Structure 1
Amino acid sequence: MMVIRTKILRPSTKAIKMIKSYILIAMRNMWKRKVFTLIQMLGLSISFGAALILFLTAMFEFSFDDFHKNKDKIYQVYRQQYSPRGIENDSPMPVPFAPSAKAELSGIKYISRFGNSGGLLMYNDKFFDLSVKYADPSFLQMFSFPLVSGNASSALRNADEVIITSSYAEKIMGTKDVTGKTIKIKTDKDWKSYIISGVAEDPPKNSTLKFDILSRFENFPGYKGNEDKWANQNHPVFLQLADNITAESFEQSARPFINKYFQTDIKNLKRDGAKPDTRGQFVNLKLLPLSEIHFSSISSVGQAIKPFFPFVLILLSAVILFIGGSNFVNLSLAASFTRAREIGVRKTFGAQKKQIITQFWCEAFILCFLALLAGTGLLLAGLKSYLAATGSNMSAEILFSGQALLWFCLVFLLTTALAGGYPSLVMARFNTLRTLQGKLNVGSKNGLRNTLTIVQFIIAIILIISTLTISKQLSFIRNMPLGFNKAEVISIPIGNDIDPESALQQMRNKMAAIPAAVSVTGTDINLGRGLDGSVTNSVMGFDYKNREVKTNWLRIDYDYLKTLDIPLIKGRDFSRAFGTDTASVLINEKMAALLGEKEPVGTILPLGDGHNVKVIGVVKDFHFKNLHQEIKPLTMVIQPGEWPVSYIFVRVKGDNLVKSMQLIEKAWKEVNPRSQTGASFLDENTDREYKKEEGMSKIFSAGAGLAIFISCMGLFASALLAMNQRVKEIGIRKVLGASVANIIVMLSKDFARLVLIAFVIAAPLTWFIMHKWLEDFVYHINVSGWIILAGGLIVFSVALLTVSFHSVKAALANPVKSLRSE
């Protein structure tokens, strides 16, 4: 019989004692140099905290829709058209598209339409506003929205069944156990009863698709009228490809399908002079991957962001961490000068190089670990304020996700290895004899130290110039004339629990009795982003003189131009004195130019199906969309039967806006007691359109402040190191008659040169970055020279003040103390 013996290896007692000794010595040295240690920890902890929160924000943005199990095979469908104006991408699809594609195109595993509508829910005589989404039964099999109760494969089997989220169920019923209960929903004119067939978990914060109630698509408003119409596109469509099908092969196989069902569009494109692609296609069916929807302007779902934004956050977190690590290196090298004799003595008594490296790296590890803990504490303490300031939906849960923890460990180990390892190697190489003689000259020609300092100030200058540019652009946007007067106008969302035309008339009657109210009107699309968060766009195309004309469509009411101070340049405004004005329209200058008529007033526009409207006036162009977009053709109508109003605008006198708002809110509560969304001023609405830019500005401002603060701490260390190395030189110069001013200039000029080099590199680089960012705005400022110069001067002034503190101190020192040992 063979006996196998296993030897268990345990750390030797000597090794354990050595580790304990390293830690004990490290703690003693840190306590001995309390101020220096505190400065090192402060800079690194701030860097860790800022870098972590920015990195987490970027991770959150990149994680959108990542929780869906079938994410790699799910796509949103969109049409790519080759028009005379260039390539145009449209994501809304016609109602019959999805069932026809499922029946005729191979490679589709699941396909679902996704309609959106506001609604009103009634349960036990209580009313609630809600967001209703309409989908086909395969929606829950395609997307990973787990059900707390119910079966995903049969939850939307019948048209009178709905899915409700758990939080919304608790809101209206006080419990999640609501399966089988009946609710009433009003999304159009009539109330309908629905049975809750399942309860879904709340969509995660990083989900593009969100809903309170999920209903069958057959209940989508206007479904019956559009069931066989291919010309009306009003909803997005998602599909999941079979495992053996690629997006490219599917797009190629869909060409005959597109040519069959979009013949009218293709015919109009040919007629208007459009040029096809290399394959002769005027219209292509394209697939947008689910992972790209959050970053694409093509998709009409959710609030897309520019893809460069999370990359900027990652870059900003990296540079802040770099600055903190650089300072740690510089401070460690500055401290090494005071510990030179300690190193020499240890070497004399037989300490090996690896032992000295281990000792100093152990100190660095402890400092970095404590800084990481402090930085995480700063992150948690400031997270709420950060989210409020930037408008991010990120939650603290992402901090403890496996992926985040893995990245944190890797970054921490890398930072510790670089920031602690390099000074340890430098100090371990000290010459024993020179250290004991006190003749050590650490880094007299240290190119790395100067390089780190230059890079730090390049970053600081870039961040300051970027902050100034972003702030100036936001100020430009806020103060740019929009073509209408947004001041002193209150916007009231009407909601779904009252007839909108009746609500508008009642508010007119009530406003007549309030002296502060100047005028009242209604519209179907808000200006800016109100408290209801709704952003709507309505575009209509029709044939005019054998060519297609596309125009934005806006339902307004009487006194719209008066309420918003929009100039009328031709013709007349809508008037109650003309009963035919419901068949008339107002157009803007862009629309008049598109029609190409010398005298647009009186022009008849054929909208199709025998429905014609007459142009009675032309208004001056105004920005009915945000400034990311240029002004486009606009047609305004008064047609209560077809397009009801959704918002009421009230212009008030500017002498007491707070009181005016209170009076109007009180009047609105009397008209609609069940209203759940508050009123807001239009100037606030337009500001909300640039929430992302505002958040980015605040992030850059904070980043610039941190960069300057931490860089100056590093400069403080570099200046201290330089002064300590030149103590005897300064003493000799003073003995030989050098003035205090001459010594200060001599000691400061080297650092001033480093800042100048940083500015020369940073200025053109920042101009390029900001120029690219400003291209996202149709209307923007130019990156002016004074902004770039101001950024450089700010950094130069702060750096000079930091260095001057040590320079003055060194220049005023008694030369006898520095020369008495010579």
Structure 2
Amino acid sequence: MINNYFKIAFRNLWKSKGYASINIVGLAVAFCISTFLFLTAYFQLSFDDFHKDGDRIFQTYIFANKPEKEERGGSMPMPLTPALKAEYPEVEAAARLMNGSSLVEYNGKYFDKQVMFTDPDFLKIFTFPLLKGNSEAALNELSNIVISQNMAKAVFGNEDPMGKQIQLGSGGGKQYIVSGVVQDFPGNSTIQYDAFIRIENNEGYQRGKDQWDAMSHQVYLKLKPNADQVSFEKRLKSFSAKYFADNITTLKKQGAKPDERGDIFAIRLQKLKNFHFNKDISGGASSSILIYALMGIASFILLIACINFINLSVARSFTRAREVGVRKSLGALKKQLFVQIWGETSMICFVGFIVGLLLAYSLLPQFNATFRSKLTLEYVFQPDTMALIIGLFLLVTFIAGGYPAWQMSKFNAVEVLKGKITLKRPGILRNSLIVTQFTLSSLLICCTIIALQQVDFLRNQPVGFDKEQVISIPVGNKVDGQQVLRRMRNTLDSDPSILEISGSAVNLGVGKDHSTSRSVIGFTFKDKEISSDWVSVDYGFVKTLGIKLLDGREFDPAYPTDSLDRVIITETMAKMIGEKDPVGKYFQTDTAGVKYQIIGLVPDFHIYSLKADQKPITLHLSHSEPINYIFVRVSPQSLVGSMDKLQAVWKEVAPQADFIATYMDENTDAWYKEEDRLSQVFSLASGVAILLSCLGLFAVALMVIEQRTKEIGVRKVLGASIRSIVYTLSEDFVKMVILSIIIATPLAWFLMQKWLDNYTYRIEISGWIFILVGCFAVLIALATVSFQSIRAALMNPVKSLKSE
């Protein structure tokens, strides 16, 4: 019986090769794209789920209910962790974690590595297994260092690293003894590292270990099994009142009110599963909006492919009505007919599925490169991933094949054999499905255009400095930035093509080192809570970046005190401290600290992405703080050869460091990587959606026109023109596409308004976008249907009248 089913299915599909090919191509493309998108979303959602007892792991964060808005931040003061462990028995383990990078030296070889500062409890909280050493004792001593597998191989090769001494830092840095080798972090880990040392080794530890107002690192807790987040946060209210009384008092003076939980200022906990998606607290690298957008788009594409399959299957079912009627009259059961017809559709789905997987296999490198993904074939063939892919296949087979098979198995044998079942008039189901797929396609096109406009708007928004003709050079850890900057100034001083040279502790934008950092200082001034970006710069910074000086002067080597207690501030900072003419005025960041004098006032400018909260900026100069980036402004006429010239100079002044310079306008463009990815995903999805929709519309139009062949012949005999016949055949399809636009427009407007609300600087959605998309969709539909309509209208009416 089953063998007979396969024979009949194969013969039917071979007889309708065009129908089968259209379905296979559509399903293959849909399976390929959906597999990529679902796997990418699944990978992102799996971040940090490999840690044992993940439901008991939390990160602390500060909540402040300021009058203007709520604020949350993950940076903590040094004494917080010891205090929590001492005062709360439900804390099983607690560890501080501070990002760091260091030059590692072993046997005369140097390596740039990410060395993290932490506490011994870190290895008890997170499941990063030690391959060598004991996790209970690996960080007991201040001179201990735990290194990753990758670092062990890079530094020691085939040597056993245990007990070996390495040096961190250049110029006589500190010696550390390798006390453990930890497994490399998985690709889906928020926390990334090359090595760990004790946080007490950080140069700012002694200064900040008793300061409750100096935020510098992240804190992670593991609660005991009998403790829960809600009750622990309630117990932390008294902790906040005890150690952050000044913050609470300041907020009350500003007019802050308690939130719905009764807090003006509080220490709260964030769950492990949210680390990867929370940029404000954890510095997460991804956005949940992008993840759910990927899943939604993948579902849309699969749905459009299923709609094509259903429409074609239902349309084709009427051409097989007599076959079904004959088989029923010969005693075939409804169940047998259902299995037979569903079996045919399952064969098409299976072939489409296999072809889709082969496409995914061949296009995987291009997909990873385009979307900066890390999918590998090993990941695709993991059991849970294969279960997801097979589940998608079964779901599509059930949706696309089940309904047509059920409809055909219900045909009444007597009515079929009398020829009463036809498809001469369009059905509600077919029309609804066509409207649905064009609604989804139009929705994706609208979202694509709006996303592209927003990215373009962000890139062209003034950032407050001149980013053109400026080259940014990361210094790295192998050389002293202050020293290299002086050497470059001396070397290039007489070169007319070099206009200005300066340096900074932070980059403007994201360069090839992919590094970014931020230093924010908070203090109370005249009973006002001040928060400012604190940026260490060198002489000529304002001039190099083309920032206009509104008042005062820039840092000048002629004034030695400029490197001690002088600052340049932005207009917003002047407003925050309540000074209309700030030049010459003083302020302090703490009662026992330095009294800073303002020597210059500049307009507001952006040193971070326009997506980030804009803070007042304070520029200061210090010969003791590092210069991590060197900025060189070149003349426009010399821009072409300037990179090669600077590379040659770099080899002279810093031969041991890599030259990975970039243009600053490229760096600022890199701020919007996520938006780029989102717009690329939308573009890909909308292109595939339109392709599948047109493919389906083409096939449905073909089958409908075949059903109306005699009608077309009659119209031509009675004198109808080709134009009127094309209009008659295309009219219904165009009406459906117009209805799709009417439905898609408010949906696209609502969804993209929600997305744009995440941006301080954003576009306003224009109505012409929807008009343009509507015209495009109608033209595409007309072009698709008209091809078949014109072909039918040109057919010899004699042949048309003989066709039925």
Compute the TM-score of the two structures, normalised by the length of structure 1.
Answer: 0.94
2:518–2:533 contact (8 Å) kept in structure 1: yes
Cα distance, 1:143 vs. partner?
Answer: 0.4
RMSD of equivalent CA atoms: 2.0
TM-superposition CA deviations, 1:471-528 (whole Å, max 9, x none): 1111112222211111121111112222221111011112225443221001111111
Task: Tell me: CA distance 1:610–1:353, structure 2 relative to 1, closer, same or farther (3 Å).
Answer: closer
Question: Are 1:154 and 2:173 an aligned pair?
Answer: no
Whichever residue aligns with residue 199 of structure 1, its letter is V
User: Is the partner of 1:673 in helix, strand or coil?
Assistant: coil
TM-superposition CA deviations, 1:308-333 (whole Å, max 9, x none): 22111111111100001111112223
Alpha-carbon distance in structure 2 between the residues aligned to 1:362 and 1:729? 34
1:333–1:442 contact (8 Å) kept in structure 2: no
600-609 or 239-248, which deviates more: 600-609
* Aligned partner (choices 392, 416, 419) of residue 411 of structure 1: 392
619-628 or 456-465, which deviates more: 619-628
Question: Are 1:690 and 2:672 an aligned pair?
Answer: yes
Count matched residues. Answer: 802
Task: Tell me: CA distance 1:65–1:821, structure 2 relative to 1, closer, same or farther (3 Å).
Answer: closer
1:390–1:696 contact (8 Å) kept in structure 2: no
1:716–1:803 contact (8 Å) kept in structure 2: yes
* Aligned partner (choices 232, 235, 242) of residue 260 of structure 1: 242
1:626 paired residue number: 609
1:460–1:704 contact (8 Å) kept in structure 2: yes
Cα distance, 1:677 vs. partner?
Answer: 6.0
Which residues in structure 2 correspond to 1:238-387 (within 5 Å)? 238-277=220-259, 281-303=263-285, 305-387=286-368
2:168–2:174 contact (8 Å) kept in structure 1: yes
* Aligned partner (choices 70, 87, 98) of residue 81 of structure 2: 98
* Aligned partner (choices 636, 653, 657) of residue 671 of structure 1: 653
Task: Tell me: CA distance 1:151–1:301, structure 2 relative to 1, closer, same or farther (3 Å).
Answer: farther
Whichever residue aligns with residue 277 of structure 2, its letter is F
Cα distance, 1:440 vs. partner?
Answer: 4.1
Which residues in structure 2 correspond to 1:54-203 (within 5 Å)? 54-175=37-158, 177-186=160-169, 190-203=172-185
Task: Tell me: CA distance 1:326–1:281, structure 2 relative to 1, closer, same or farther (3 Å).
Answer: closer
User: Is the partner of 2:647 in helix, strand or coil?
Assistant: helix
Question: Are 1:820 and 2:797 an aligned pair?
Answer: no
1:391–1:691 contact (8 Å) kept in structure 2: no
Question: Are 1:459 and 2:436 an aligned pair?
Answer: no
* Aligned partner (choices 798, 807, 816) of residue 780 of structure 2: 798
1:6 paired residue number: none
Cα distance, 1:163 vs. partner?
Answer: 1.2
2:78–2:208 contact (8 Å) kept in structure 1: yes
2:424–2:707 contact (8 Å) kept in structure 1: no
User: Is the partner of 1:543 in helix, strand or coil?
Assistant: strand
1:391 paired residue number: 372
Task: Tell me: CA distance 1:435–1:116, structure 2 relative to 1, closer, same or farther (3 Å).
Answer: same
Alpha-carbon distance in structure 1 between the residues aligned to 2:373 and 2:391? 25
Alpha-carbon distance in structure 2 between the residues aligned to 1:622 and 1:171? 41
Cα distance, 1:216 vs. partner?
Answer: 1.6
Task: Tell me: CA distance 1:36–1:746, structure 2 relative to 1, closer, same or farther (3 Å).
Answer: same
Cα distance, 1:603 vs. partner?
Answer: 1.3
Task: Tell me: CA distance 1:505–1:443, structure 2 relative to 1, closer, same or farther (3 Å).
Answer: farther
TM-superposition CA deviations, 1:147-204 (whole Å, max 9, x none): 22222222212221111111222122223842222211118x7511112121111101
2:531–2:615 contact (8 Å) kept in structure 1: no
Whichever residue aligns with residue 236 of structure 1, its letter is Q
* Aligned partner (choices 437, 459, 464) of residue 483 of structure 1: 464
Alpha-carbon distance in structure 2 between the residues aligned to 1:732 and 1:380? 51
Task: Tell me: CA distance 1:766–1:37, structure 2 relative to 1, closer, same or farther (3 Å).
Answer: same
Alpha-carbon distance in structure 2 between the residues aligned to 1:231 and 1:363? 70
Alpha-carbon distance in structure 1 between the residues aligned to 2:14 and 2:501? 71
TM-superposition CA deviations, 1:614-647 (whole Å, max 9, x none): 1122111111111113532111111222x32211
* Aligned partner (choices 203, 206, 218) of residue 224 of structure 1: 206
Alpha-carbon distance in structure 1 between the residues aligned to 2:330 and 2:260? 80
2:72–2:281 contact (8 Å) kept in structure 1: no
Cα distance, 1:721 vs. partner?
Answer: 2.4
2:641 paired residue number: 659
* Aligned partner (choices 542, 547, 572) of residue 553 of structure 2: 572
Alpha-carbon distance in structure 2 between the residues aligned to 1:264 and 1:598? 27
Which residues in structure 2 correspond to 1:768-787 (within 5 Å)? 768-787=750-769
Alpha-carbon distance in structure 2 between the residues aligned to 1:83 and 1:232? 19
1:531–1:678 contact (8 Å) kept in structure 2: yes
2:93–2:222 contact (8 Å) kept in structure 1: yes
Alpha-carbon distance in structure 2 between the residues aligned to 1:99 and 1:632? 31
1:472 paired residue number: 453
TM-superposition CA deviations, 1:206-254 (whole Å, max 9, x none): 1010100111222223112222222211000000011111111111112
Cα distance, 1:434 vs. partner?
Answer: 5.5
Whichever residue aligns with residue 429 of structure 2, its letter is L
2:19–2:699 contact (8 Å) kept in structure 1: no
Gaps of 5+ in 2: none
2:11 paired residue number: 28
Whichever residue aligns with residue 759 of structure 1, its letter is I
Alpha-carbon distance in structure 2 between the residues aligned to 1:364 and 1:685? 51
Which residues in structure 2 correspond to 1:633-644 (within 5 Å)? 633-641=616-624, 643-644=625-626
2:304–2:437 contact (8 Å) kept in structure 1: yes
Alpha-carbon distance in structure 2 between the residues aligned to 1:755 and 1:190? 73
Cα distance, 1:443 vs. partner?
Answer: 7.2
2:277–2:284 contact (8 Å) kept in structure 1: no
Whichever residue aligns with residue 781 of structure 2, its letter is A
2:647–2:659 contact (8 Å) kept in structure 1: no
Alpha-carbon distance in structure 1 between the residues aligned to 2:733 and 2:670? 43
2:196 paired residue number: 214
TM-superposition CA deviations, 1:699-722 (whole Å, max 9, x none): 110100000000011101221222
Alpha-carbon distance in structure 2 between the residues aligned to 1:293 and 1:570? 43
Cα distance, 1:760 vs. partner?
Answer: 0.5
Alpha-carbon distance in structure 2 between the residues aligned to 1:280 and 1:764? 39
Whichever residue aligns with residue 687 of structure 2, its letter is G
Question: Are 1:46 and 2:21 an aligned pair?
Answer: no
Whichever residue aligns with residue 373 of structure 2, its letter is S
Task: Tell me: CA distance 1:443–1:368, structure 2 relative to 1, closer, same or farther (3 Å).
Answer: farther
User: Is the partner of 1:377 in helix, strand or coil?
Assistant: helix
Compute the TM-score of the two structures, normalised by the length of structure 2.
Answer: 0.96
442-451 or 286-295, which deviates more: 442-451
* Aligned partner (choices 606, 628, 632) of residue 646 of structure 1: 628
2:451–2:679 contact (8 Å) kept in structure 1: yes
1:758 paired residue number: 740
Cα distance, 1:450 vs. partner?
Answer: 0.8
Which residues in structure 2 correspond to 1:702-717 (within 5 Å)? 702-717=684-699
Task: Tell me: CA distance 1:28–1:439, structure 2 relative to 1, closer, same or farther (3 Å).
Answer: same
Which residues in structure 2 correspond to 1:700-739 (within 5 Å)? 700-739=682-721
1:92–1:236 contact (8 Å) kept in structure 2: yes
764-773 or 343-352, which deviates more: 343-352
Cα distance, 1:348 vs. partner?
Answer: 4.1
Cα distance, 1:52 vs. partner?
Answer: 1.1
Whichever residue aligns with residue 208 of structure 2, its letter is N
2:422 paired residue number: 441
Which residues in structure 2 correspond to 1:514-593 (within 5 Å)? 514-582=495-563, 583-593=565-575
Gaps of 5+ in 1: 1-17
User: Is the partner of 2:342 in helix, strand or coil?
Assistant: helix
User: Is the partner of 1:155 in helix, strand or coil?
Assistant: coil
Cα distance, 1:728 vs. partner?
Answer: 1.6
User: Is the partner of 2:554 in helix, strand or coil?
Assistant: coil
